[in-house]
Amino acid sequence: MTFTKAHTVLSVLVVTLLVACAGQDPAVEQSRQDAVQAVRDFIDVRGLEELTELRSSTSDTWEPIEEHFLIYKGRRATYLVEFAHQCRELNDNTRIVADERWSANTVRARFDTIRGCRIGRIFALTEEEVAELENIGESPGSRN
């Protein structure tokens, strides 16, 4: 039996997949799931007000919390945005998808997207709540 080019490519692909699978750390994945659950618990305990939309401008910024949430900082207010599904595009700059918006100055839950990910829910935040959310999942003293 001779080794063809296809066999070589297939062998390299299988080895690459095995290495990639072996490199996933279950403790890291559990930590991510814990952080997502902590944010969901925070929403429930604080009784955050759910909004259908938020006012936006070109100077708005956002900061991801894992791949399910982000803190959206507008000109006048700050919001917690929850995605309908996990949004890997928040941390992956190799594939940037255009946002879908029905209105230029409004971001709406269930209809609009950020980085191509559908927004599930939007919550209004106070400055105190923003500070707590920014520290979720971090051990005391780990943030500079």
Is the pLDDT at 19 greater than 70, yes or no? no
Q: Look at residue 79 and tell me if it is in a domain.
A: yes
7 is a domain residue: no
Whole-model pTM: value is 0.72
- Is residue 9 in some structural domain? no
Determine, yes or no, domain membership for 139: yes
SS3 per residue for the chain? CCCCHHHHHHHHHHHHHHHHHHCCCHHHHHHHHHHHHHHHHHHHHHCCCEECEEECCCCCEEEEECCCEEEEECCCCEEEEEECCCCHHHCCCCCCCCCCCCECCEEECCCCEECCEEEEEEEEECHHHHHHHHCCCCCCCCCC
14 part of a folded domain:
no
* pLDDT of 1 higher than 70: no
Is 19 among the domain residues?
Answer: no
Question: Does a structural domain hold residue 29?
Answer: no
| Count of the separate structural domains present in the chain | 1
Residue 77 lies in a domain: yes
**Confidence check: pLDDT of 18 > 90:** no
Q: Is the pLDDT of residue 77 over 90?
A: yes
Domain, as residue range, for 140? 47-144
Tens digits of per-residue pLDDT, 90-110?
Answer: 888 787 777 788 888 889 999
